[in-house]
Amino acid sequence: MDNIIRCQWCVGNAVYEKYHDEEWGVAVYDDQRLFELLILETFQAGLSWIIILKKREHFREGFDHFDYRKIAQYGETKIQELMQNPGIVRHQLKIRSTVSNAAAFMKVQEEFGSFSNYIWRYTNGIPIVNHPKTVKDIASTSTLSDSISKDLKKRGFKFVGSTVVYAYMQAIGIVEEHIENCWKIKNNLGL
């Protein structure tokens, strides 16, 4: 895909370009993937997304392929094992929050039938499509991310501030925000 126009934030980095071309802004409804992306976004808080993407496979291996049922059962031994894993971001509070977030995730599933039902109800299952002119015009929060963040915190989730939630909304396709001249926009519109 040489000589194509992409959103500026990913240009020149093969890992970013692959993520942009194949995942970013694509609607996700599968609870397993929704959980994976939520956890990756929480680990990204305060860091660059490229760090997380480069460590993604290590996160998958370390966190049992993001099996939230297993993660919710992690005890101190597993937490300490993860703290010694150089392939992931070894932030104790984020590791511990992953365990509690897995339990909170399952409670949401119980209440709504799936986490997908819960998260997509905020937009009635319809992605919010924005076409900013430049990467500078891409938001980092919104009133919707503020609302979702507040509700997730009320439900016991951690590291889910409005900025993390907005990035999550972009990652799972609730917000599709490729810049107006990006090939993904033209492709999605059939141009």
Q: Which of 19, 24, 68, 168 is catalytic?
A: 19
Q: Please indicate whether residue 24 is annotated as part of the active site.
A: no
Cβ(35)–Cβ(99) below 8 Å: no
Q: What are the tokens at 27?
A: 């609607």
How far, CA to CA in Å, does 122 sit from each of 14, 119, 127, 144, 175?
33, 6, 10, 8, 11
Q: Please indicate whether residue 120 is annotated as part of the active site.
A: no
For residue 175, the surrounding DSSP H or E stretch is strand 175-176
Q: Please indicate whether residue 180 is annotated as part of the active site.
A: no
Q: Which of 24, 49, 74, 166 is catalytic?
A: 49
Cβ(7)–Cβ(178) below 8 Å: yes
Q: Which of 16, 36, 41, 118 is catalytic?
A: 41
* Residues that are catalytic: 19, 41, 49
